[in-house]
Chains A and B, each alone.
Chain A
Amino acid sequence: NAGVTQTPKFQVLKTGQSMTLQCAQDMNHEYMSWYRQDPGMGLRLIHYSVGAGITDQGEVPNGYNVSRSTTEDFPLRLLLAAPSQTSVYFCASKRTGGREQYFGPGTRLTVT
């Protein structure tokens, strides 16, 4: 199993541009989520999904959109990038009823 994969690993955007961060898992996990990690702060939940077709907002959802059309994929979209979205983004997944959460390697995003 590849586990949780994320692409790209690094990305630089200009303010106002849009992009999609990709996340995929091959463990057939129902739960998937997106976090951002900023210096001096704990990971914060952006959006999460409990299964295909179901998504919900986390602690810091503004400026981000998600969709979950398949069990495997959970892309995160930035429609109008802002410098405040400069961060490291992590995708994670876990199975229903499980406590163990598996994280991807992260995407480092810089918005100038």
Chain B
Amino acid sequence: KNQVEQSPQSLIILEGKNCTLQCNYTVSPFSNLRWYKQDTGRGPVSLTIMTFSENTKSNGRYTATLDADTKQSSLHITASQLSDSASYICVVSADSGYSTLTFGKGTMLLVSP
């Protein structure tokens, strides 16, 4: 069964600090991995999408890494801001269609002043 596991479940950091969120998956065959940011009461917004051949991708202060061999991904947030407080969701796709997206439960990040 395809699964996406995220850790930690929740995290509190001080403003200005860095943090790293983890994602392990057992989705096969692998097509791409996405990280979404979901603010409270809003829909998810895409941060990065990586395919098998991409092992690092950045979007501003967000940097995602992918190790397709170990089936692990991480999302690193640099110099955190209060607006980074949100749930971060890892999603793995087995192909480009809709029916094969497997969503993680998310990591809830709180950035404290």
Residues of A within 8 A of B (CB): 4, 31, 33, 40-45, 48, 50, 56, 58, 90, 92, 97, 99-106
**14 A-B residue pairings within 8 Å (CB atoms):** A4-B43, A33-B98, A42-B104, A42-B105, A43-B44, A43-B89, A45-B101, A48-B99, A50-B98, A99-B49, A103-B43, A103-B44, A105-B42, A106-B41
Q: Assess the B43–A45 pair: CB atoms within 8 A.
A: no
- Is B103's CB within 8 Å of the partner chain A? yes
For A90, list chain B residues within 8 Å (CB). Answer: 43-44
Q: Assess the A99–B32 pair: CB atoms within 8 A.
A: yes
Most buried by B among A40, A58, A103: A103
Q: Number of residue pairs across A and B with beta carbons under 8 Å?
A: 49
Residues of B within 8 A of A (CB): 4, 32, 34, 41-46, 49, 89, 93, 96, 98-99, 101-106
- Cβ-closest chain B residue relative to A6: B43
For B44, list chain A residues within 8 Å (CB). Answer: 43, 90, 103
For A58, list chain B residues within 8 Å (CB). Answer: 98-99
Known: A48-B98, A99-B32, A99-B96. A43 touches B46 (CB 8 A): no
Known: A42-B4, A42-B104. A101 touches B46 (CB 8 A): yes
Taken together as a complex, chains A and B put the C-alpha atoms of A106 and B105 apart, in Å, by 17
Known: A42-B104, A58-B98, A106-B41. 15 other contacts (CB 8 A): A41-B105, A42-B105, A43-B44, A43-B89, A48-B98, A48-B99, A58-B99, A90-B44, A99-B32, A100-B49, A101-B34, A102-B46, A103-B43, A105-B42, A106-B43
Most buried by A among B46, B96, B98, B102: B98
Which 5 pairs from chain A and chain B are nearest by CB?
A42-B103, A103-B43, A48-B98, A43-B103, A103-B44
Taken together as a complex, chains A and B put the C-alpha atoms of A45 and B34 apart, in Å, by 16
Taken together as a complex, chains A and B put the C-alpha atoms of A41 and B89 apart, in Å, by 11
For A56, list chain B residues within 8 Å (CB). Answer: 99
For B41, list chain A residues within 8 Å (CB). Answer: 105-106
